[in-house]
Chain A
Amino acid sequence: MGLDEPQLKRSIGLRTVVSTSAGLTFASSTFLVVVQVACYLAGDSAWIAIAIAGALCALAAAAFSELNGMWPSVNGLRLYIHRAFGEKVSLIVALTYMTVVTFVVGTEAYVLSHVLTAAVPSIAPPWWIFLMLSVATGFNYRGLKAAGAFQDILTYSVVASIVIMSVLALAHTHFQIPRPVSPGGIGPIFQAVGVAIFLFVGFEWVTPLADEVKSPKAIPIGMFIALGLLVVSYSLITTAMFDGGVGRVALYGTGHTREAIPHIVFASTIFGPVGRWVMIVTSLCMSLTTFNAGLIGVSRFIYGMARDQVLPKGLANISFKYNTPDRATFLVYAIALAVSAIVYLTQRFVLLVNLAAATESFVYAFAAAAVVALRLKDGARNRPYKMWGGIVLPAITGLLFAILAVGVFAQNGIENWGSGLVLIVVALVWWVYIEFFILPKLARIRAENAAKRQSRRPKPVS
């Protein structure tokens, strides 16, 4: 590197890229999903659906890698869709996605509150929800976040805990897995894969680190390794949970009352109090990464949108003391608290999990479609990483994810069609807001700013 080439002081290695990508997906609510996936399928075949979902997410990772290689930016998805489909579509997709992510934070707080009540039964879940969200928001407001070495320790400890507990539980049954390849047909696999996408939600949120990594290739490689780790971890824990002798009803609940903390039930039943505490700590670590990514990510997104005048400008306020977007942070806190309260009162956490799984599939479909559109519109641009398969594979990837998302909504039960309804309402609200209020306002503001902006450029001497 020559004297005049810029060099960054800080840089991140592959280990941290992997831990960040995998860590962003970990959540206590993922255990609800592994149970749901297993219950769609006959035998002990959940690993098949998890592996297929992981492989599909690897295709999405390839799409994100191509897009991120062209425009490494913290704006990520919003920028890619803007370049591919224009400002309106990018704003609607990004705002809808971030709304759903806020719902996920609320759902996660609900699930974690039940985990913590299992640890300290004298404190009821609503108090835990309030406490956890308040503490996480306090850290976010102070600008403290899990990063670098801490993220490494957190993620790899969670992976080790899941793998070790799974292997020990399987050892209880002498590794007897009665029907590992009998899923019961294509239909159940399709349903299970649609929901299993939730297990990988957020792996691509590592792309904003593109400007901080030592090697640009670390992002795609890191995402692929992280997906592999997740497939192995979730396949093992699902098989262990259902082969350890706990029983489906204990893990799933009944049709009307779903079990919110199947992982605690599993660990308590197989390993007793020690296992219960290990799983509580593991669950807490998993939720920490969700809060970390969700609260920080959404609050920074709201701040950015407010700076761009898409959301009310008051939300672009920065704390003078901590240099963090304070109003955006507290808005996310208020929304997450409200969502948690609604989930607590209605017990409809599965609806929000389905909503998140389907929304994420749509987001991956948009990413793959953006790859196709940009290859057609901007084929000459340098692509440091190129998704293989011409435009055919990205197109198929987009189509598959769109079908999976619709498949989640198309099943019987309010938890499924209800999640589709919520997504349609959220997207419609944002569409009306963007189409009729924001785009006309932005056009006016941009014209006014261009006219009134005072240049400090010296006037040429005539």
Chain B
Amino acid sequence: MATAQEMIDSLESFAQSCKENERLTAMIRDWNRVLHIEASDLAMVNTLVTDGGIVTTEPGAIGNADMVIHADSDILTQVFYGEVSPNEPYNDGTLRIKGAEEDIVRLDFVIAMLWD
């Protein structure tokens, strides 16, 4: 199980990775969304916000989410640090993403641009 601080660090690392990728920033400029990241074993929620191509992270559940990503803290930190592809936990049901299908496709594309 990851710690709460590791969760926050992994999200900040993810936000930084997005910021460093110019093509990705251009790609998500019109995709303004609120994502809640829910670590089931920590009873903890963090928020990722995409606004004008910039990705930021906040502790806690800020506002109403467009998407909710739910998994245990180990999987979430591994995914946000880029250590594992989210596809495998998603395909075997250990990582869940709630939200509209078009947003799930867009998030998948963000991940693909960052790490694949």
A residues with CB within 8 A of B: 3-10, 70-75, 78-79, 82-83, 143, 208, 211-212, 300, 303, 307-308, 316, 318, 320, 323-325, 446, 449-450, 453-458
Contacts and interface: CB of A to CB of B under 8 A. Distances in A.
A72 B60 contact: no
Contact of A212 (B99, B106, B115): B99
Nearest to B88: A446
18 contacts: A3-B60, A4-B44, A6-B36, A6-B61, A6-B65, A6-B70, A6-B98, A9-B64, A10-B99, A10-B100, A71-B96, A82-B91, A83-B92, A300-B105, A307-B87, A308-B91, A453-B82, A457-B77
Contacts of A6: 36, 38, 45, 61, 65, 68, 70, 98
Contacts of A320: 27
Given A8-B65, A9-B66, A82-B92, A325 B105 contact: yes
B1 interface: no
A308 B9 contact: no
Contacts of A79: 91-93
Given A7-B64, A307-B112, A318-B109, A456 B92 contact: no
Interface of B: 9-10, 13, 16-17, 27, 31, 34, 36, 38, 44-45, 60-61, 64-68, 70, 77, 81-85, 87-88, 90-93, 96-102, 104-106, 108-109, 112, 115
A449 B82 CA distance: 11
B105 A449 contact: no
Interface centre among A7, A453, A456 (most CB of B within 10 A): A456
A308 B111 CA distance: 13
A72 B96 contact: yes
Given A211-B98, A454-B82, A455-B83, A7 B65 contact: yes
Contacts of B66: 8-10
A420 B38 CA distance: 46
A82 B89 CA distance: 12
Contact of B83 (A307, A446, A453): A453
Nearest to A12: B100
Nearest to A458: B9
Contacts of A5: 45, 61
Given A5-B45, A8-B65, A208 B101 contact: yes
Given A4-B45, A8-B64, A307 B96 contact: no
Contacts of B67: 8
Contacts of B16: 456
A82 B82 CA distance: 24
B59 to A, nearest CB: 9
A9 B112 CA distance: 25
A316 B112 contact: yes
Contacts of A300: 101, 105
B90 A73 contact: yes
Nearest to B60: A4
B82 A323 contact: no
Nearest 10 A-B pairs (CB), nearest first? A6-B36, A211-B98, A71-B93, A6-B68, A9-B64, A457-B81, A455-B83, A456-B13, A4-B61, A7-B64
Contacts of B101: 74, 208, 300
Nearest to B23: A320
Contact of A211 (B87, B90, B99, B105): B99
Nearest to A71: B93
Contacts of A457: 9-10, 13, 77, 81, 83
Contacts of B65: 6-9
Given A5-B45, A211-B97, A211-B98, 6 more contacts: A7-B64, A71-B96, A211-B96, A211-B99, A316-B112, A455-B82
B102 A323 contact: yes
Contact of B81 (A10, A143, A455): A455
Nearest to A78: B91
Contacts of A10: 66, 99-100
A212 B100 contact: yes
A374 to B, nearest CB: 11
A449 B104 CA distance: 23
A162 B24 CA distance: 49
Contacts of A449: 85
B98 A75 contact: no
Given A303-B105, A308-B91, A8 B96 contact: no
